Amino acid sequence: MLRKLKTLKKYQIILVVLLSLFFLSACSIKEIEKSAFIAEIGIDSSGNSEKPFKVTLKIYNPTSSIKESDSPNYIYISEDGKSITDAIRLLETKVDKRLEFGHLKFIILGEESIEKLQIRDMLDFFSRRPDIQLISWVMIGRPSAEHIVKMVPKSETAAYTSLFNYFDQNANESPFIVSRFLFDFRRKYFDEGVDPVLPIVETEEQEFKIDSALIIGENKNTVALDTNETRIYDILKGNVFKADLIVDTENEYFMIEADKIHVNYQTVEDSDGSITLKVHINAKGIIVESKKHLEIDNLKKYNELAGKHATELTKKFIIKLQESEIDPIGFGVRYQTTKLHNHLMSYEEWMKAYKDADLDIKVTFELKSTGQLG
Amino acid sequence: MSRFYYYLILINMIANIIASVPVILIQYRKNGVILSMILGIIVGLIIVYLITNFFNSYPGKSLPDLLKATMPKWFNIFFTFVLIGVWFFAGLITLITFTILLIHFLAPEMTHLMGTLLIVFFMAFGCFMKADKVLYTVEIIFVLTLPMLLFIFFKAYTNEQMEWDYVKVAITYINTMPRFLPFMSSVFLFLGVLNLVIFNQFFTTKQSIGWKQITFIGILGTVVLFTTYFIPIGFNGFENIESIMYPWVSTSDSMRIRYGFIERVVFVFLLFYLAISCISLLIHWHVVVELLKSIFNFNKLKIKNVKITPFIVIIAFITITAITVILIDELQIYYFTTYYYLHFAISVPSLLIVMWMIKRRLKNAKKT
């Protein structure tokens, strides 16, 4: 009995020693108030060939209580550097805390930096660091990233960056916003056959305005999309919950809100090697506004009118893409899925075929009602 | 079959989803990976069937018992040492791969040595549990972690950011000739069944293995292989994916649970995988300990009536692991793992030959 107890005691000591190993992990962790949490990062080109990267950080300035501080509180720092990491090393000397990238949600690239800096370098930095989220949103700042980073809109509340609401698809579900995650931008940038689209963020009277986008092509040729084109892009990529369309003909003027949109796009290769781009869209919705009296019996006619109008808009958009030799929809990738890999044409041949491709675009509408009025 | 049998197989499959298997498969994505995977599934199932069938004919007997009954002593010792090496390295590779991964993402300030030691201390003691206790531990951890992991895989499949076009592009490479390394790593997913060499002690009643069981394991393996290879491609693209060091970590970081408690899936995913890798390690090293027990008498060496052999074994485990962790870098562990997968091309057939000899000798012994 006594002997048994003795061995038990020995094991107890071992157990206590082992358990106390857990405390060691405290030695390697920095306390939370010693960290500066970064909310946004902006990258501009500085114009200085020695130190081309200008990095601007927006850091949450912690307050003791959210209730006491009625307005959001941020610290802004910026610095030039030979690379992004170099700039961040220099920035570390400007704050008394450790820079913590784990909560970074917004990566803002200045409009100029897209042309002047290597996107590859920036992407490399953001996806190589394990602490930066691959689900952070990438966007373009106009006129510069610094301008957007330092902008605090009036509607912003403490401890919640209002840009969240634009991209989260939780508060604002506008069809004009292109929401682009970092990993998505990365895969589209590096893969042939699809080009990434980034939203352009502007400011207007102390508020953000996000209604246009920029396509970045293979050879850094960029094409800007205006508001309507951005919307068509979003619809084609299935990024929207709701989309509206104004039908304006001689006799009718009404507006449709479509809430169920089904997009089917394909590439069809003919026997002579020419390509047809096939885009079929089916939308279901209701009429929400009209300048004239509407007859519910005429829904079929309205369907046709709307379909014709939407087909034209889509056609115009795709022709623009073809002419600028840019492919944000991903027809190239779709084409690669149609055949075994060794029967495909080369990428250059494909781009040529894409440019000369015929179009087969059809938009059909299935309107469900004319709203509360007849 | 008893459910514990499936745990043994499943644990090896799931533990390898995020470790080195996807890296190897993706490396060969343009060189015959799809046919290699299909062949791997077929060969893997044959191995599963042969080994299960063998052990089913001797319920409750482990391989060392059977060796002792039939083979000469010098051969037993030699063969058991080979087995010890195989299982020890299985545990070591799992351990090092996962600690590097975990420390890289969860605690970048921690040193590799420290992280490894923390896990090894507990696991090394756990290996000395009895076979049934080990299996119960496995079951508890499975029940706790598997639902969440399945949920994450489900989220991956239904994610709107998952581009099936890339998956289709990957499938267009089906007409390339199969290669040996991706083939062996696909086979490796099925080799959890080899743990029966010791765990057969636990299965004392006669089990049945027929078409139903094999089909079930086949479906399981196909789903796991499909997930391992195609989900990262769907999230990271096809052309450029080889530049990603940890495809599955990047993939889980690309997922977002909007209304989850933790928005960033990668942390949840890695924490659950810590548990899975720990039980994988536990199983492998439990086999090592049992094999050691079959050669050495653990009761012999005593100081003041306390058996000290277990402590010697534990200290050996810890020192070997610590030295390896200090010396090895990520490239070396990758090559080490590939050689480890390749060596099964020799060791599994030789194991099967030994089993066949045992069977024949036992039959002859019965006759006379």
- pLDDT per residue over B338-361, tens digit each? 999 999 999 999 999 999 998 888
With 80 as the cut, is the pLDDT of residue A9 above it?
A: no
A21 and B118 within 8 Å at the Cβ level: the answer is yes
With 80 as the cut, is the pLDDT of residue A157 above it?
A: no
Q: pTM for the whole thing? A: 0.86
With 70 as the cut, is the pLDDT of residue A65 above it?
A: no
pLDDT for position A242: 78
Tens of pLDDT, residues B167-201? 999 999 988 899 999 999 999 999 988 998 888 88
Confidence of residue B42 (pLDDT cuts 50, 70, 90): very high
Chain A contacts in chain B segment 107-126 (CB below 8 A): 107-110, 114, 117-118, 121-122
Mean pLDDT of B46-52: 92
d(CA B266, CA B18): 12
Whether A30 and chain B come into contact, CB under 8 Å, resolves to yes
Tell me the nearest-neighbour CA distance from B132 into chain A, angstroms: 23
> In the predicted model, what is the mean pLDDT of chain B?
87
Whether A10 and chain B come into contact, CB under 8 Å, resolves to yes
Which residue from A3, A130, A184 is facing B305, i.e. has the nearest CB?
Answer: A3
Tens of pLDDT, residues B70-112? 888 888 889 999 999 999 999 898 888 888 888 888 777 777 8
The answer to whether the Cα torsion of B144, B87, B190, B330 is positive or negative is positive
With 60 as the cut, is the pLDDT of residue A3 above it?
A: no
CATH fold label, B3-367 = Amino acid/polyamine transporter I (1.20.1740)
Chain A, chain B: beta-carbon pairs less than 8 Å apart: 94
Chain B contacts in chain A segment 334-353 (CB below 8 A): 334, 336-337, 339-342
Which residue of B160, B230, B253, B303 is the best one to mutate when testing the A interface, meaning the one whose CB has the most A CBs within 10 A? B253
d(CA A167, CA A11): 56
Confidence of residue B38 (pLDDT cuts 50, 70, 90): very high
B56-70, B119-133, B337-351, range with the lowest pLDDT: B119-133
Residue of chain A nearest B263, judged by CA positions: A135
Distance of CA B211 to the CA centre of its chain: 24
pLDDT more than 90, % of chain A:
4
Confidence of residue B35 (pLDDT cuts 50, 70, 90): very high
Dihedrals phi, psi of A134, to nearest 5 degrees: -75, -10
pLDDT for position A1: 45
B209 versus B165: the higher-pLDDT residue is: B165
Which residue of B116, B169, B314 is the best one to mutate when testing the A interface, meaning the one whose CB has the most A CBs within 10 A? B169
A341 and B263 within 8 Å at the Cβ level: the answer is no
With 70 as the cut, is the pLDDT of residue A312 above it?
A: yes
| B329: enclosing H helix or E strand | none
Say if the ipTM goes beyond 0.90. no
B169 and A341 within 8 Å at the Cβ level: the answer is yes
Residues in A touching B238 (Cβ below 8 Å): 191
With 80 as the cut, is the pLDDT of residue B239 above it?
A: yes
Mean pLDDT of B284-298: 87
- What is the residue extent of each domain of chain B? 3-367
3-state secondary structure chain A: CHHHHHHHHHHHHHHHHHHHHHHHHHHHCCCHHHEEEEEEEEEEECCCCCCCEEEEEEEECCCCCCCCCCCCCEEEEEEEECCHHHHHHHHHCCCCCEEECCCCCEEEEEHHHHHHCCHHHHHHHHHHCCCCCCCCEEEEECCCHHHHHCCCCCCCECCECCHHHHHCCCCCCCCCCCCCEHHHHHHHHHCCCCCCEEEEEEEECCEEEEEEEEEECCCCCEEEECHHHHHHHHHHCCCCCCEEEEEECCCCEEEEEEEEEEEEEEEEECCCCCEEEEEEEEEEEEEEEECCCCCHHHHHHHHHHHHHHHHHHHHHHHHHHHHCCCCCCCHHHHHHCCCCHHHCCCHHHHHHHHHCCEEEEEEEEEEEECCCCC
Whether A20 and chain B come into contact, CB under 8 Å, resolves to no
B96 versus A1: the higher-pLDDT residue is: B96
With 60 as the cut, is the pLDDT of residue A279 above it?
A: yes
pLDDT for position B41: 93
Residues in A touching B239 (Cβ below 8 Å): 190-192
A45-49, A290-294, A311-315, range with the lowest pLDDT: A290-294
Tens of pLDDT, residues A341-362? 888 888 888 888 888 888 888 8
C-alpha distance from residue B340 to each of A8, B87, B93, B227 (Å): 40, 11, 9, 23
Confidence of residue B223 (pLDDT cuts 50, 70, 90): very high
Which residue from B118, B172, B174 is facing A336, i.e. has the nearest CB?
Answer: B172
d(CA B184, CA B178): 11
A28 and B175 within 8 Å at the Cβ level: the answer is no
C-alpha distance from residue B336 to each of B89, B99, B178, B329 (Å): 10, 16, 22, 10
pLDDT for position B231: 92
pLDDT for position A66: 63
Tens of pLDDT, residues A114-156? 888 888 888 889 888 888 888 889 999 888 888 888 888 877 7
Tens of pLDDT, residues B310-324? 888 888 888 998 898
Name the residue among A135, A245, A226, A235 with its Cα closest to residue A175.
A235
A341 and B172 within 8 Å at the Cβ level: the answer is yes
pLDDT for position A19: 77
Residues in A touching B110 (Cβ below 8 Å): 25, 28
B109 and A187 within 8 Å at the Cβ level: the answer is no
pLDDT more than 90, % of chain B:
26
B137, exposed or middle or buried, with CB in 10 Å at 0-12, 13-18, 19+? middle
